[in-house]
Amino acid sequence: MLLVIDVGNTNTVLGLFEGKKLVTHWRLTTLHEQTVDEYGILARNLFTLEHIDARAIKGIIISSVVPMLDGTLHQVALRYFGLSPLFVEPGPMIGMPILCDNPREVGADRVVNAVAAFEKYGGPCIILDFGTAITFDAVSERGEYLGGAIAPGLGISSEALFHRAARLSEVEIREPAGIIGKNTTASLQAGLYYGFLGLVDGILERLVATFASPPKIIATGGQAALISPGSRFRPVIDEDLTLEGLRIIWERQNR
């Protein structure tokens, strides 16, 4: 079995593949203070709950945008699984040209998503990832990573609003009944939901216009299922896109 790990600023997602099949996955809070043993014991406990023998893990691949955790996770892999993990880095290993000024600046999660989207849906394509930030990534018809855009995510934007405005309390972020809120909670929900819907559609409109033929649009990440259905571009929602990308890159490295 293959253990894939996607380390984001807010959440860390672990997935287990048996061949090309995603057997199970877990979404955890990214904790910078966890020790090697704490991460290792947590992983082992998750496997035990699913009746999975850790000895069945034959490979580990990690995509991380939190460099301070890379050393910890490397030690977890060695100590608790007896394996040296493969860390994703933009370059030849991903099998996709990166047409950016400095390819090494591109987040590992973004190139992993691009690899998976092109493999599964073809090109040209645009990938939206709703995480701590909302990233928009463009891939050409020939499978080249072109670059993209980064905007603040829904979670951190709403937190900033609640912390800075003394009379506004935190609300559940969800699709409101309508654009005109009749109370403070409904008004906040309308502003957050339709504000980010407008942001997504505005950036997509400009990105789509750069392609000679209509690109496929794929959405993934925590709020993909919340925002995407309201978009006039109707992105395909693929919740496991990043995990699939990690599997694909692993297979390319181990042919």
CA angle 246, 247, 248 (to 5 degrees): 90
C-alpha to C-alpha distance for 180 and 177, rounded to whole angstroms = 8
126's tokens: 């645009």
**Confidence check: pLDDT of 128 > 60:** yes
- Residue 155: pLDDT band (50, 70, 90) is confident
> pTM higher than 0.75 for the full model?
yes
Nearest alpha carbon to residue 125 among 197, 207, 229, 228: 207
Tell me, what's the pLDDT at 168?
58
**Confidence check: pLDDT of 92 > 80:** no
Q: Which active-site residues does the annotation give?
A: 109
- Residue 166: pLDDT band (50, 70, 90) is low
Domains annotated on the chain, with CATH: 2-87 (3.30.420.40), 123-239 (3.30.420.40)
Mean pLDDT of the chain: 91
Residue 23: count other Cβ atoms within 10 Å of its Cβ. Answer: 13
C-alpha to C-alpha distance for 161 and 40, rounded to whole angstroms = 36
* pLDDT digits 0-9 by tens, 37-74: 999 999 889 999 989 988 899 999 999 999 999 999 99
C-alpha to C-alpha distance for 181 and 191, rounded to whole angstroms = 9
Tell me, what's the pLDDT at 184?
84
Q: Which residue has the tokens 């972020």?
A: 173
User: Helix H segments across the chain?
Assistant: 36-49, 70-81, 108-121, 154-164, 184-208, 224-227, 241-253
Tell me, what's the pLDDT at 90?
76
**Confidence check: pLDDT of 185 > 60:** yes
- Residue 169: pLDDT band (50, 70, 90) is low
**Confidence check: pLDDT of 167 > 60:** no
* pLDDT digits 0-9 by tens, 21-40: 999 999 999 988 889 999 99
User: Which of 157 and 80 is assigned the larger pLDDT?
Assistant: 80
CA atoms within 13 A on the CB side of 46: 16
57's tokens: 């893990």
Mean pLDDT on 126-144: 95
Cβ neighbours for 213, distance < 8 A, ≥ 6 positions apart: 124, 141
Q: How many residues does the chain have?
A: 255
Torsion of CA 123, 11, 203, 159, to 10 degrees: 170
C-alpha to C-alpha distance for 22 and 169, rounded to whole angstroms = 39
